[in-house]
Amino acid sequence: MGKQIENFFELKDVCRSAGLWYVGSFMSEFLDKRDWWENKETKERFIAYMHNEYEGIDSDVSGTRTRVNCVIRIIESGYVKDALNLVLQANDEKLGCVESKVNAQMVLDAFESGEYTE
């Protein structure tokens, strides 16, 4: 487990580093594929998968690695719902991706229904 997020201000910084739109858009992918990134041996493959599957987000894999590590930190620190609520509260124009809010709400609904647990 990596460095834990200590407080809400740090959460906001981590979300900003990942890209708030990225957190909202891909959180379900991270939760669904947890076994891919929890294992050190398969984590690099997960990073490569995210980079290749969603081509054009980052010009090179190092940007994807940063985003992936930030989202993993959010999950491992137990701040998933807080991060998704930040997505929902974000200014649409600044967020730049309306689908991020739709996806964030779907994940929150999945927590509510018991499909996901923290």
What is the per-residue DSSP string for 22-85?
A: HHHHHHHHHHHTHHHHHSHHHHHHHHHHHHHHTTTS-SSHHHHHHHHHHHHHHHHTT-HHHHHH
Residues in the chain: 118
Q: What is the pLDDT of residue 1?
A: 67
Q: Where are the domains of the chain?
A: 8-113
The per-residue pLDDT of the chain, averaged, comes to 95
Could you report the per-residue pLDDT of 10-57, keeping only the tens digit for each? 999 999 999 999 999 999 999 999 999 999 889 999 999 999 999 999
Q: Which of 72, 70, 82, 77 is nearest to 111 (CA)?
A: 82
Cβ atoms within 10 Å of 19's Cβ, excluding its own: 22
Q: What is the pLDDT of residue 22?
A: 98
Give the residue-averaged pLDDT of 80-89: 98
Q: Which of 66, 65, 81 is nearest to 31 (CA)?
A: 81
